[in-house]
């Protein structure tokens, strides 16, 4: 499946630092996301040089792209000054990767056919560098046999594809065709560079991590929650990313900052968390560290007024995300890891949870108040696998995460 890299010693060097990205902006409404993309790429140390097509100009101005990228925005194939200073050949060769975002059906068709009728398509034809596209178009255009055939040809030429996702489209229709979100594009680029640099034993693998509590609304102003801080789940996402995995972190409300280089989806409720997890599949590895509320409340449309009697809350069971992800099937990650938060009979209950939820491993921890686990910086865990129970010493949550990521890397080396 994936090639396994054995460079466990590689440090957390930011994957996009000093990378030169030639960004081709074609004419789709998703071009409005490009300023944010440029800003975030530069925040990560990448340099961005833009080519704006005629179509792209309808959605974003060359001035915006130039000021955000800090470089001239190139538009014209036959500009004498540009050709003298920076021809299309140099433009396309002086990049580490060419990213086409948004990639319209038109530019995909031109790439497939090898047309070169403007600066963007000429640079794409003249390049010897890797190319990634983020398609964006109407669902009918995306599913049209012509576009799908073009996509297949581009894939056989090793063009990397990120997205598109499903959702509301600008044209008012719903379906596939929506350009990948900015963090997703950044994660795809990071994954590409990690792989290219043979960085980390998890390079080329995708991990899904849940973290934090969920909030279940009672009425528009109140909710039920738990004491989970998200520290352990966020640390696991970071550790997996530093070992080269492309990570999607689905997080409930926490005070933790978004980990760098990780695609993050913020959610509130268990139902939203499940949906976000399912949208992040397929993944090779899933780690469910979130303290998901077991129940949701039948939500009142208006704030419940304080009457003489306390109101009774009507609870309904929430979906079990770990058990859902673990169900045998095509999209089941190869390694599914759950947590067991217990206040008594830790190992026994954790073993039962492993079996009941069909998880491969369970990280069991005692969350009694006296342990300070919930909200604290340290954790004492026991790793429960089919082979038995490993008792780990008390470690900082960050160290627990690193040790778990190393165990995951070993699993990947042996089994994937």
From 322, 335, 346, 409, residue interacting with ligand CTP (rule: CB under 6 A) = 322
Residue pair 214/268 in contact (Cβ under 8 Å)? The answer is yes
Shortest reach from residue 290's CB to ligand CTP, in Å: 5
Residue 15 DSSP SS3: coil
Residue 249 within binding range of ligand CTP, rule CB under 6 A: no
Euclidean distance between CA atoms 144 and 280, whole angstroms: 24
Closer CB to ligand CTP, residue 134 or residue 277?
277
Residue pair 245/271 in contact (Cβ under 8 Å)? The answer is no
Count of residues binding ligand CTP (CB under 6 A)? 16
Euclidean distance between CA atoms 121 and 127, whole angstroms: 10
Tokens for 301?
């449309």
Residue 321 within binding range of ligand CTP, rule CB under 6 A: yes
Euclidean distance between CA atoms 47 and 276, whole angstroms: 31
Euclidean distance between CA atoms 276 and 266, whole angstroms: 9
Alpha helices in 214-328 (DSSP H): 231-242, 270-280, 321-326
From 338, 360, 398, 401, residue interacting with ligand CTP (rule: CB under 6 A) = 338
From 57, 258, 268, 320, residue interacting with ligand CTP (rule: CB under 6 A) = 320
Task: State which of positions 206-225 bind ligand CTP (CB under 6 A).
Answer: 210
Residue 258 within binding range of ligand CTP, rule CB under 6 A: no
Tokens for 141?
């255009």
Task: State which of positions 350-369 bind ligand CTP (CB under 6 A).
Answer: 353
Q: Residue for token digits 């560079």?
A: 193
Shortest reach from residue 250's CB to ligand CTP, in Å: 10
Residue 294 within binding range of ligand CTP, rule CB under 6 A: yes
Residue 332 within binding range of ligand CTP, rule CB under 6 A: no
Alpha carbons within 13 A on the beta-carbon side of 162 = 24
Residue 406 within binding range of ligand CTP, rule CB under 6 A: no
Residue pair 264/247 in contact (Cβ under 8 Å)? The answer is no
Task: State which of positions 67-96 bind ligand CTP (CB under 6 A).
Answer: none
Stretch that binds ligand CTP, among 126-134, 177-185, 189-197, 335-343 (CB under 6 A): 335-343
Stretch that binds ligand CTP, among 11-19, 119-127, 183-191, 334-342 (CB under 6 A): 334-342
Start-to-end CA span in the chain (Å)? 7
Residue 318 within binding range of ligand CTP, rule CB under 6 A: yes
Q: Based on the residue annotation, tell me whether 288 is a catalytic residue of this protein.
A: no
> How crowded is residue 165: how many other Cβ atoms within 10 Å of its Cβ?
14
From 193, 223, 339, 361, residue interacting with ligand CTP (rule: CB under 6 A) = 339
Going by DSSP bridges, is the β-strand pair 361-366/381-385 parallel, antiparallel, or unpaired? antiparallel
Residue 192 within binding range of ligand CTP, rule CB under 6 A: no
Residue 290 within binding range of ligand CTP, rule CB under 6 A: yes
Which residues are CB-contacts of 292 (< 8 A; sequence separation ≥ 6)? 210, 213, 214, 252, 270, 273, 318, 320, 321
For ligand CTP, the binding residues (CB under 6 A) are 210, 270, 288, 290-292, 294, 318, 320-322, 338-341, 353
Active site residues: 171
């Amino acid at each position: 499946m994936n090639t396994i890299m054995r460079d466990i010693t590689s440090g957390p060097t930011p994957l996009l630092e000093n990378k030169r990205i030639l960004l081709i902006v074609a004419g789709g409404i998703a071009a409005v996301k490009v300023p944010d993309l440029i800003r975030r790429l530069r925040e990560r140390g990448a340099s961005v040089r833009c080519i704006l097509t005629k179509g792209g100009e309808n959605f974003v101005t060359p001035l915006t792209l130039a000021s955000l990228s800090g470089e001239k925005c190139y538009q014209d194939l036959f500009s004498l000054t540009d050709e003298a200073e920076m021809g299309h050949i140099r433009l396309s060769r002086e990049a580490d990767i060419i990213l086409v975002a948004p990639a319209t059906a038109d530019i995909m068709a031109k790439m497939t056919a090898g047309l070169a009728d403007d600066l963007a398509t000429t640079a794409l034809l003249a390049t010897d560098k890797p190319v990634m596209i983020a398609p964006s178009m109407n669902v009918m255009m995306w599913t049209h046999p012509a576009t799908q055939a073009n996509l297949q040809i581009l894939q056989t030429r090793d063009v990397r594809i990120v997205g598109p996702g499903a959702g509301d489209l600008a044209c008012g229709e719903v379906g596939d065709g929506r350009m990948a979100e900015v963090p997703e594009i950044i994660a795809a680029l990071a994954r590409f560079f990690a792989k290219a640099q043979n960085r980390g034993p998890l390079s080329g693998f995708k991990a899904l991590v849940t973290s934090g509590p969920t909030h279940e609304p009672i009425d528009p102003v109140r909710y039920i929650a738990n004491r989970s801080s998200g520290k352990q789940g966020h640390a696991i996402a970071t550790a997996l990313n530093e070992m080269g995995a492309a990570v999607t972190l689905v997080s409930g409300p926490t005070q933790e900052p978004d980990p760098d280089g990780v695609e993050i989806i913020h959610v509130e409720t268990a139902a939203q968390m499940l949906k976000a997890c399912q949208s992040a599949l397929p993944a090779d590895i899933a780690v469910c560290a979130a303290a998901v509320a077991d129940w949701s409340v039948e939500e009142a449309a208006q704030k419940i007024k304080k009457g003489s009697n306390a109101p009774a809350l009507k609870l309904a069971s929430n979906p079990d995300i770990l058990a859902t992800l673990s169900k045998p099937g095509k999209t089941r990650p190869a390694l599914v890891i759950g947590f067991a938060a217990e206040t008594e009979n830790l190992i026994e209950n954790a073993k039962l949870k492993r079996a009941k939820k069909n998880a491969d491993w369970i990280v069991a921890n005692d969350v009694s108040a006296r342990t300070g686990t919930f909200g604290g910086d340290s954790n004492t865990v026991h790793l429960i696998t089919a082979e038995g129970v490993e008792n780990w010493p008390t470690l900082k949550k960050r160290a627990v995460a690193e040790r778990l990521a190393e165990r995951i890397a070993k699993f990947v080396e042996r089994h994937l």
